[in-house]
Amino acid sequence: MQIILLGAPGAGKGTQAKRLSAKYNLLHVSTGDIFRENIKNSTDIGIIAKSFIDKGQLVPNDVTVEIVKERLEQEDCKNQGYLLDGFPRNIEQAIELDKFSKIDLVLNIGVDINKLINRITGRRVCPKCGASYHVTTLNGETLCKACKTELILRDDDNEETVTKRIEVYNKQTAPLIDYYKKQGKIATVDGNLGIDETFNQIVKILG
């Protein structure tokens, strides 16, 4: 099964993707994670990506489509279902994706805009294992519960950049809801609920 997780920044795509990939044995393909790995390793793609990510803008389509295409052509993706987290992010990317992947379902995680900034600026991530937390549930703890590494705030998780990312989502990514509605592939999930409740809704949809 090939699934897209659609939603605004902070909607909970990454959180749900980790749980779903564990439950359904799906590969989690996150363009944000691929870019961050490239930034960490100072690759050419990483240098280009950072200049856009830090401003809350989308990385150009040619770069983004190519990294996703390359990833999906790898052997594991040919033999196993996957979850696309953060891709596509505009109509052009969706049109390109249709040329090299057959998507079965698009899960649209809807969250009220006023909740997003708090979720993102309060997020703390583990730079080693990728686990993600929110300050409200950490109770002052600064180490990753899984691997005991010091948690960090992502460079693009400040209020100014988040506001820009939400603006970009509204303008460029939200039109994908209609695009996939027309293909009869979309299912909407209420992401305003807690993490478990959101997950349970998705499990019901997947059956």
Q: Which of 36, 119, 124, 165 is catalytic?
A: 165
156 neighbors 54 (Cβ within 8 angstroms): yes
Between CA 6 and CA 186 the distance in angstroms is: 10
Which among 74-82, 119-127, 142-150, 178-186 is the span making contact with ligand AP5, rule CB under 6 A?
A: 119-127
Minimum CB distance to ligand AP5 smaller for 66 or for 79: 66
CA triple 179-3-22, angle to 5 deg? 155
Is-catalytic flag, 165? yes
Single out the catalytic residue among 19, 55, 115, 154.
154
- List all residues 6 or more positions away from 119 whose beta carbon is below 8 Å from its beta carbon: 10, 12, 111, 134
Active site annotation includes 119: no
Whichever of 14 and 46 has its CB closer to ligand AP5, that residue is 14
Site string for ligand AP5, 67-96 (x = CB under 6 A): -------------------xx-x---x---
Q: Which of 4, 13, 38, 186 binds ligand AP5 (CB under 6 A)?
A: 13
Binding mask 137-176 toward ligand AP5 (x if CB under 6 A, else -) reads -------------------x--------x-----------
Exactly one of 7, 38, 151, 202 binds ligand AP5 (CB under 6 A); that residue is 7
Q: CA torsion, points 52, 168, 66, 3, in degrees to nearest 10?
A: 140
Mapped to the 3 state alphabet, what secondary structure does 21-52 carry?
A: HHHHCCEEEEHHHHHHHHHHCCCHHHHHHHHH
| Min CB(178)–ligand AP5 separation in Å | 18
CB 97 within 8 A of CB 69: no
Q: Determine if 38 is a binding residue for ligand AP5 (CB under 6 A).
A: no
Quick check: is 154 catalytic?
yes
**AA letter at 164:** K
Is the Cα torsion angle 58, 59, 65, 67 positive or negative in sign?
A: negative
Cα separation of 7 and 119, whole Å? 13
Q: Which stretches of the chain bind ligand AP5, using CB under 6 A?
A: 7, 9-15, 31-32, 35, 52-53, 56-59, 64, 86-87, 89, 93, 119-120, 122-123, 132-134, 156, 165, 191, 194-195, 198
* Active site amino acids: 13, 89, 123, 154, 165
